[in-house]
Amino acid sequence: MGFKYLHLRLLITFFICQSINSQIATSNFNNSIHYTTKDGLSSSIINSIIEDEKGFLWVATNKGVALFDGKHFTNYNFFTLNGVSQEIGFIEKIILDKSKKTLWLSGEKGVFYSSIDTINIKKLNALSSISKLPLEKTSIILLEDQNTLWSSSNGKGLLKINITNKNYKNFIFKSPTKGDQTLLNSIGDIYKDPNNDSILWLGTGAGLIRFNSISEEYQVFIYKNNSDLAQNLIRKIVVTKDLVFLGTWSEGLVVFNKKKT
């Protein structure tokens, strides 16, 4: 009798599972619109998207930035430097300042900015006082306020740029292990702590950095104390009250409890 009841229970479980699975439908994009270069985009490679206060979309591509009004694309692929028109090229990140009036772009050829009312894209380090800024191949930017821009470029650490005074400071980090110092200074993402305005969390190619922007002190956290592990190659960060979520390049999601440090 016991075997019969077990057999019956297995059959019931099987049919319940089949019923649940039958409720999962495969979705499709039949009710969507697909935009490509045929519809006016200068490139079909999309790296970042933001919406401005007018409801327009700004789209970062590998050929500059495009403005989408819901029907048409307006592409901005060039900037002028010393009277010469040059291609903007690959744009990795696009953000708006707190006033929602200035557009900031970072990418292969550096950091750019423009008013969104009158588009005139300019290169940040074209200004003579900060012309030596190491901004080529800038991977990420964070606008802390109207005057302070944080960025990282091509293994050259963290840059703090004062937009108003047109000066900057470059922070180079040292690993507590024998890991690659260049990878530690290759920053893939910057995230401001939601509970402490002075703390920036930096995801690097060789671990996680907790950086105090006031004292300029920092801590390096390395997964299992081995910077060679792929878990230390951090691409994206999200920080909550207690946790830091780290998106790695090839080893999934790592959750770090910052309260236990």
pLDDT digits (tens, 9 = 90+) for 125-163: 665 456 566 666 666 777 777 778 888 877 788 988 887
Domain 186-261, what fold? Thrombin, subunit H (2.40.10)
Examine the pLDDT at 15 and tell me if it is beyond 50.
no
Q: How far is CA 247 from the centre of its chain?
A: 11
pLDDT per position as a tens digit, 203-231: 998 899 999 999 999 999 988 888 788 88
What is the mean pLDDT of the segment spanning 84-99?
86
Homologous superfamily of 38-172: YVTN repeat-like/Quinoprotein amine dehydrogenase (2.130.10.10)
Given a contact cutoff of 8 angstroms between Cβ atoms, the answer to whether 113 and 103 are in contact is: yes
**Largest distance between two CA atoms of the chain:** 91
Judge if 38-172 and 186-261 fold alike in CATH terms. Answer: no
Closest CA relative to residue 206, chosen from 185, 192, 189 = 185
**If you count them, how many residues does the chain have?**
261
Give the mean pLDDT of 199-203.
94
User: In which order are the strands placed within the sheet that holds 64-68?
Assistant: 46-51, 57-61, 64-68, 73-76
Q: Is the pLDDT of residue 3 over 50?
A: no
Q: Are 73 and 39 in contact (CB under 8 A)?
A: yes
217 against 164, higher pLDDT: 217
pLDDT for 229 equals: 84
Please report the pLDDT score of residue 11 as a whole number: 47
Could you tell me if 113 and 143 are in contact, meaning their C-beta atoms sit under 8 angstroms apart? no
pTM of the entire predicted model: 0.75
Q: What is the pLDDT of residue 29?
A: 61
Q: What are the domain boundaries of the chain?
A: 38-172, 186-261
